[in-house]
Amino acid sequence: MTQRPAPTELRAWLGLLVILGPVLLVAMDGSVLFLAMPTLTADLTPTADQSLWILDSYGFAVGSLLIAFGSIGDRYGRLRLLMIGAGVFGLASAVAAFATSAELLIGLRVVMGVAGATLLPSALAVLSTLFTDPRLRARAIGIFAATFAAGFAIGPVVAGQLLSRFWWGSVFLINLPVLLAFLVFAPILLREVRTGATGRVDLPSVFASATGLLLVLYAVKHAAATGVSVDGLVVGVVGLAVLVWFARRQSRLAEPLVDFGLFRRPVFAIAVLTGFLPLAAWSATAYLGATYLQSILELSITRAALLAVPGALVLTATSVLTPLVVERVGRSAALVAAHVFIAVGLLALLPTGTAAGIGWYLAATVIAGIGYGISFSVVADIAVGAVPAERAGSAAALAETSNELGNAFGIALFGSLAALLFRLTGPDLAPTVGETLTLPGLLPAQREAAVASFVDGLHVVALAAAAVHALVAVVAVRVLPRARSGDDAAIHTGASV
């Protein structure tokens, strides 16, 4: 006879179920526009630079504020922050669905990102207090990570199904029923959690981190869109200087937004890097892959969306199963494996061509999906287990920040690299391949040149991202502890390895 869970345990699992709704949406909204961009572009006619901002202004807003909101939740109440964030996220989603200009949509995406930044760290911190049993907590965090990963993965799939029946704004309206259910059930199943910390959130640090990241992102985008200029270089240098000031300020604060001392632990440092790089590679290749399937191979939105399903399923399943595997092989081995799988998957994109490549695209998403799933699961577990309970929100924020900044910088860096290569090697008729292929009177030779230039850019991005992941895998093998007990102890006791 199957033993029923105790009432307290049942309440914890129901609480987890309620938390997963907003988590799924926050992750999904980071990728839901990939397939929608051709339709959205035809309606709002954004510039090439605005198109990139529509995609990654959301991820930037989430990533730049996660740490701040993690600290705010620790001090003033995580459930309260969850409720406020869910309400704002829903309102911004409703308005974004009916945006009439690219500028308005970018602004609303920023508002959604700010609201999303309130949700993720508090959700993971609340989850960690629901489960007192370490094994159950690890399993719950694995489910949390799988949901977060699934959100990124199924965003294009959901968008494809909606766009085959409705207009592009429908991808935002699907947020509303999930958020409404959360607002109803969260006060019933979740308890308010405060750490008792009395220090105030350092507003100059919040401003510096957000401003520095914004200036650096702008400089990268500006260089890709219009070439290297004195103005762009000045903006980039100022942004880097602000970030350096931010980092130095954290070392002098009693309650820093980022505890850089955690990065002295090799396992933790590689883990956060494993949170950043996979999202950078995934977001860039997912965006470029969606364009490749629709604009180059001329597949319908529905078929392009279906091609994302195998990779999404593998990614989600890997996120769920990773905690069980980690118990046998250890976190160090899992971190190395994540980078190896992603590098191999990215290299599988190199044989794709201008006329065929669906099989290679599927192989790439499935193989890399294993690595992405490992990274999502392991990073969250390490971050929460590495700190005392009173810092859970901040640690969770650091883990999620690496994911969200990876998402934003992936499109900014790798997407800008592809845009730069297209500008330098394409037919020079329009800034993007989508705009070029829709030009009236386009000659066959011009179309061939545009298509070839885009595919070459996709290959360069895949090769560059694969090389970075391979390098991190090699470094991880050399610096991380090999014994399972060693790396676990280093993480959970706070010792340097």
User: Coil, strand or helix: which one is 420?
Assistant: helix
Distance CA 162, CA 97 (A): 13
The answer to whether the beta carbons of residues 236 and 216 sit under 8 Å apart is: yes
More confident residue, 273 or 98: 98
Residue 475 confidence (pLDDT): 85
Check whether 21 has a pLDDT greater than 50: yes
pLDDT in tens, 82-112: 888 888 988 998 998 888 888 898 889 889 8
Total residue count of the chain as it appears in this document: 497
Residue 116: per-residue pLDDT: 81
Find all residues with CB under 8 Å of 327, minimum gap 6, and list them: none
> Model confidence over 431-450: pLDDT tens digits?
777 777 777 777 888 888 88
Among 92-106, 253-267, 292-306, the range scoring the smallest mean pLDDT is 253-267
Q: Are 244 and 289 in contact (CB under 8 A)?
A: no
Residue 278: CB partners within 8 Å, gap ≥ 6? 338, 342, 371, 372, 375, 376, 406, 469
Q: Identify which of 117, 122, 106, 1 has the alpha carbon closest to the alpha carbon of residue 55.
A: 106
Q: Residue 399 in contact with residue 379, Cβ under 8 Å?
A: yes
Percent of the chain with pLDDT over 90: 7
d(CA 53, CA 46) in angstroms, rounded, equals 10
Q: Which of 94 and 116 is assigned the larger pLDDT?
A: 94
pLDDT at 366: 92
Residues 6 or more apart whose Cβ sits within 8 Å of residue 356:
297
Rounded to 10 deg, the angle between the 484-493 and 358-385 helix axes is 60
Q: What is the DSSP string of 366-418?
A: HHHHHHHHHHHHHHHHHHHHTS-GGGHHHHHHHHHHHHHHHHHHIIIIIIHHH
Q: What angle, rounded to 10 degrees, do the helices at 331-347 and 358-385 form?
A: 160
Q: How far apart are alpha carbons 60 and 47 in whole angstroms?
A: 19
SS3 of 270-301: HHHHHHHHHHHHHHHHHHHHHHHHHHHCCCCH
Torsion of CA 315, 316, 319, 321, to 10 degrees: -110
Among candidate residues 415, 416, 427, 431, the one with its CA nearest the CA of residue 453: 427
Give me the amino acid identity at 369.
G
**Res. 401: pLDDT tops 50:** yes
Per-residue pLDDT tens for 184-205? Answer: 888 887 776 655 555 566 788 8
- Highest mean pLDDT of the ranges 79-93, 154-168, 252-266, 377-391: 79-93
Residue 330 predicted with pLDDT over 70: yes
Tens digit of pLDDT for each residue in 126-161?
Answer: 776 777 776 777 677 777 777 776 777 677 777 777
- One-letter amino acid at 64 equals S
Give the pLDDT mean for 232-246: 89
Q: Is the pLDDT of residue 248 over 70?
A: yes
Question: Using CA atoms in the order 227, 288, 218, 63, what is the torsion angle rounded to 10 degrees?
Answer: -160
The pLDDT value given to residue 237 = 92
Q: Is pLDDT larger for residue 345 or for residue 277?
A: 345
pLDDT tier for residue 340 given thresholds of 50, 70 and 90: very high
- Residue 430 falls in which region: left (phi positive, over 0), alpha (psi -120 to 50) or beta: beta
Higher pLDDT, 117 or 492: 117
Structure tokens of 411? 């499109």
Is the distance from CB of 189 to CB of 216 less than 8 angstroms? no
Report yes or no: 334 and 326 within 8 Å, Cβ to Cβ. yes
pLDDT-based confidence at residue 5 (cuts at 50, 70, 90): very low
pTM over 0.85: no
Residue 437: count of CB within 10 angstroms of its CB: 18
Would you put residue 200 in left (φ > 0), alpha (ψ -120 to 50) or beta? Answer: beta
pLDDT band for position 47 (50/70/90)?
confident
487: pLDDT strictly greater than 50: no
Instruction: Taking the CA atoms of 472, 474, 479 and 485 in sequence, report the sign of the dihedral they define.
Output: positive
Q: Which two tokens stand for residue 395?
A: 């640690």
pLDDT band at 380 (very low <50, low <70, confident <90, very high): low
